[in-house]
Amino acid sequence: MLDVLVDKLVFDLFGLAEGSPWGEAFHYFVFDVIVIGALLIVVTHVMGLINAYLPVERVRTWIASGRLRGSEHLVASGFGAVTPFCSCSSIPLFLGFLQGGIPLGVTLSFLITSPLVNEVALALFLGLFGWKVTLLYAASGILLGTVLGWGMGRLGLGAWVEDWVWEIANDQGRKETEERQSLWGQMPSISREAMDIVMGVAPYVLAGLVVGAAIHGFVPVGFFEQYLSGEGLLAVPASVAVAVPMYANAAGVLPVVESLVTKGIPLGTALAFMMAVVGLSLPEAMMLKKVMKTRLLATFFGSVAVSIVGLGYFFNWVL
């Protein structure tokens, strides 16, 4: 339906030839701007609603209640996925969880998934790769948080947290005094914040789609296969290493990656790259350095990075 409309606009109204580089590039751009724009608006609103209904304080109480019987890591990781991520909240969340009596490993489960599976990434994945790849991405992210948090919890890394953190954690602090409005009453502010997020990432998404469109139109299909297919053993770790500094531009990087996949980059390598771009957040690392000793921070980010490389190989092998 939308496809037909965009066909009309690009090929009839603008008179670009179907199958020509300019025609294909322009068609891709217009189509994706509409689809991704709509998805961004919908997903940020849905996430805003979930978050208003389930504020992190309530999640903390629930996890700390001890009623989850062993599924704490999975639940913490799942909530990490649905809470909007801001590196500015990394420390308050970390401290708040420990303060609420939640074990370090469970807290780490939350911290791993929180940046990795976020509303902007989900909207972009849905628009660019469809629901199957999105589901695969979200499920691997939540699984990663669950398993790594559990593993690090077993290692007993409590001594690697800065000492003053435990002093605060043992002091119960004051009770939450914030009054929450009804969900309906919060709707205007939920919507305004959702639109703020959309407008904030819009320049990156548009820039990414321009580059993606150019690749779609002008780079021949299978171009990268000649260089990267088959052996390309180093491709996965290399792309993870390259990805880390790109965190700030994650929204612009994803459309480019999608175009590269259609031109022959293996999906597993691309997924590993994107997980690293979105999940290995440098700003988060800088913040967490204040509360974690270097060994814990290195273990935390190192194990996430290594696992992403592992997942990349796995997807390349299975998909």
Partner 1 sequence: MTVTILSTGCSTCQTLEANTEKALEQISEDVSFEKIEDMEQIMRYGVMSMPALVVDGDVKVSGRVPDPDEIAALVEE
User: Residues in the site for partner 1, rule: CB under 8 A?
Assistant: 55-57, 60, 86-89, 91-93, 95-97, 99, 164, 168, 171, 173-179, 189, 192-193, 196, 287, 290-291
Say how far apart CA 254 and CA 276 lie, in whole Å.
11
Pick the closer one to partner 1 by CB: 107 or 307.
107
Burial of 249 (0-12, 13-18, 19+ CB in 10 A): middle
State the minimum distance, in angstroms, from the CB of residue 27 to partner 1.
Answer: 35
State the minimum distance, in angstroms, from the CB of residue 95 to partner 1.
Answer: 5
Pick the closer one to partner 1 by CB: 99 or 134.
99
- Give the CA distances from residue 4 to residues 11, 138, 143, 203, in Å, rounded to whole numbers and listed in that order: 10, 31, 39, 27
Pick the closer one to partner 1 by CB: 34 or 64.
64
Please check whether residue 176 is in contact with residue 57, taking contact to mean a CB–CB distance below 8 angstroms.
Answer: yes
State the minimum distance, in angstroms, from the CB of residue 108 to partner 1.
Answer: 16
Look at the block and give the residue holding tokens 């001594």: 159
State the minimum distance, in angstroms, from the CB of residue 102 to partner 1.
Answer: 11
- Give the CA distances from residue 214 to residues 22, 49, 133, 260, 298, in Å, rounded to whole numbers and listed in that order: 8, 36, 23, 11, 38
Pick the closer one to partner 1 by CB: 96 or 312.
96
State the minimum distance, in angstroms, from the CB of residue 179 to partner 1.
Answer: 8
Pick the closer one to partner 1 by CB: 89 or 262.
89
Return left, alpha or beta for 230; rule: phi > 0 is left, psi -120 to 50 is alpha, else beta.
left
Pick the closer one to partner 1 by CB: 8 or 180.
180
Helix, strand, coil shares of the chain, percent, nearest 5, are 80, 0, 20
Which residue type occupies 303?
A: S
State the minimum distance, in angstroms, from the CB of residue 120 to partner 1.
Answer: 14
